[in-house]
């Protein structure tokens, strides 16, 4: 019993890391691209790594270096960076019911990216309370370190890597949609949920294809939520079941 | 990097951290209040609804291939179907992802050989 109590947190740590491995398929190629683009924009390798370490938010980092390179006013650079990241405000409250009373949780929120949220939202409710902190720390830390490491790699040798392993850079990112598909598949529990999820996925994809990647996530989620509520309204009017 | 640029990096980093951190503090306090007051809803329904929908939106965004084209869309479709099929049988996290990436990779490489 005591053995289990002492070994569980470290096992939870490792489980978190193992379950975050699919994220690397998407993180590393994008981080390499960021490192490469940042150095091409005039940042040194160390500066690119520090930006990835401190800001740690993919899309906004690309915007940050792009706007700085274009000579945009710095107040606008900061405002746009924060505007893109504003979607993150809904993530932590959704995890809060599953978080324990540890003081580490607020600081661990630095690692709460879109992808880490998706995995944590599915996995934390399934874990015993004693393992959640370890699991999240392992998963978030691996994702963060892979992002920093990928940036360093891209800043130092990005051009050569892209030229030599172009195909791997095309294949590995599919790990992200595959992972998210596995995470949302169990949510298709009713016609109402299925419709809301399908509309969200479709709108997010269409917005991305139109070049509106930065607004795709919050806008598609809001459309899905509106669909969820309107389906309830229509079926209630006909006196049928909601679900 | 100039000191003004450093301030911009730090402001962006701090702002992003606060956007991730402060809503957690708010929700934890709300949950504490709810424990003492049964009339208060633990999580507002719209907020609990947005969680899964945000994941669905992230999935939609990530479906866009790195190099869009007819073959990469075909590879995406096959990768999605294989991922779903393996998930249906295994109900685990790792195997469906590995199988999906493998299927996607095979289609991309076969297309590369054929062209």
Question: Over its length of 243 residues, how does chain A's per-residue pLDDT go in tens digits?
Answer: 333 333 566 789 999 999 999 888 878 888 888 898 899 888 999 999 999 999 999 888 988 988 888 888 899 889 988 988 888 998 999 999 999 989 999 999 999 998 899 899 999 999 999 999 999 999 999 999 999 999 999 999 887 887 777 777 788 788 888 988 988 998 898 999 999 999 999 999 999 999 888 788 889 999 999 999 998 655 555 444 444
Q: State whether A168 and A197 are in the same domain.
A: no
Question: In terms of domains, do A194 and A166 share one?
Answer: no
Which residue does chain A place closest to B81, by CA atoms? A178
Same domain, A41 and A128: yes
Residue A183 domain-assigned (yes or no): no
Which residues of chain A does B62 touch, with a Cβ-Cβ cutoff of 8 Å? 26, 173, 176-177, 180
Of the three residues A144, A173, A202, the one that is the final residue of a domain is: A173
Q: State which of A150, A173, A196 marks the end of a domain.
A: A173
Examine the domain organization and report whether A37 and A64 are in the same domain. Answer: yes
- Under 8 Å CB-to-CB from A183, ≥6 apart: which residues? A118, A119, A121, A122, B55, B59
Q: Are A76 and A112 part of one and the same domain?
A: yes
Residues A124, A194, single domain; the answer is no
Burial of A125 (0-12, 13-18, 19+ CB in 10 A): exposed
Domain end, chosen from A127, A146, A173, is at A173
Same domain, A151 and A124: yes
Distance from CA of A80 to the nearest CA of B (A): 9
C-alpha A177/C-alpha A224 separation (Å) is: 18
In this structure, is residue A181 part of a structural domain? Answer: no
Range of the domain at A228: 188-243
Does residue A102 form part of some domain?
A: yes
Burial of B102 (0-12, 13-18, 19+ CB in 10 A): middle
* A192 and A169 in a common domain: no
Say if pTM beats, i.e. exceeds, 0.80: no
Q: Could you give the C-alpha distances from A51 to A74, A193, A240, B13, in angstroms and in order?
A: 15, 38, 53, 8
Interface-testing mutation among B97, B104, B110, B111, with chain A (most A C-beta atoms within 10 A): B97
The domain total for chain A is 2
Classify residue A115: in a domain, yes or no.
yes
A93 in the same domain as A36 = yes
User: Residues A124, A58: one domain?
Assistant: yes
Residues A17 and A103 in one domain: yes
Residues 60-119 on A with a CB inside 8 Å of B are 60, 64, 68, 74, 77-78, 81-82, 85-97, 99, 105-107, 109-110, 112, 114-115, 117-118
Q: Are residues A45 and A156 in the same domain?
A: yes
């Amino acid at each position: 019993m005591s053995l289990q109590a002492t070994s569980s947190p470290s096992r939870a740590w490792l489980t978190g890391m193992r379950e975050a491995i699919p994220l690397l398929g998407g993180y590393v190629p994008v981080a390499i691209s960021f490192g490469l683009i940042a150095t091409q924009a005039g940042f040194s390798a160390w500066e690119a790594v520090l930006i990835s370490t401190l800001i740690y938010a993919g899309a906004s980092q690309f915007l940050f270096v792009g706007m700085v390179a274009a000579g945009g006013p710095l107040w606008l650079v900061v405002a746009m960076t924060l505007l893109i990241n504003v979607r993150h405000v809904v993530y932590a409250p959704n995890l809060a019911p599953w978080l324990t009373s540890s003081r580490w949780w607020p600081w661990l929120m630095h690692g709460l990216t879109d992808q880490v949220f998706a995995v944590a939202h599915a996995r934390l409710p399934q874990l015993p309370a004693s393992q959640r902190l370890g699991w999240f720390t392992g998963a978030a830390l691996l994702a963060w370190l892979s992002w920093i490491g990928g940036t360093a790699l891209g800043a130092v040798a990005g051009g050569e890597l892209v030229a030599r392993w172009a195909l791997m850079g095309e294949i590995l990112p599919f790990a992200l949609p595959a992972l998210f598909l596995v995470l949302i598949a169990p949510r298709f529990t009713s016609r109402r949920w299925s419709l809301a999820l399908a509309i969200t996925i479709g709108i997010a994809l269409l917005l991305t294809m139109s070049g509106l990647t930065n607004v795709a996530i919050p806008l598609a989620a809001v459309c899905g939520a509106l669909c969820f509520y309107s389906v309830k309204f229509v079926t209630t009017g006909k006196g049928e079941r909601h679900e | 990097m100039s000191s003004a640029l450093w301030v911009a990096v730090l402001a962006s980093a701090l702002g992003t951290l606060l956007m991730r951190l402060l809503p957690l503090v708010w929700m934890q306090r709300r949950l504490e209040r709810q424990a003492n007051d049964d009339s208060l809803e633990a999580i507002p329904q719209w907020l609990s609804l947005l969680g899964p929908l945000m994941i669905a939106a992230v999935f939609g965004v990530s479906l866009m291939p790195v190099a869009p084209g007819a073959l990469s869309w075909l590879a995406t479709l096959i990768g999605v179907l294989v991922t779903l099929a393996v998930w249906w049988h295994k109900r685990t996290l790792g195997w469906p992802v590995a199988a999906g990436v493998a299927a996607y990779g095979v289609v991309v490489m076969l297309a590369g050989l054929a062209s």
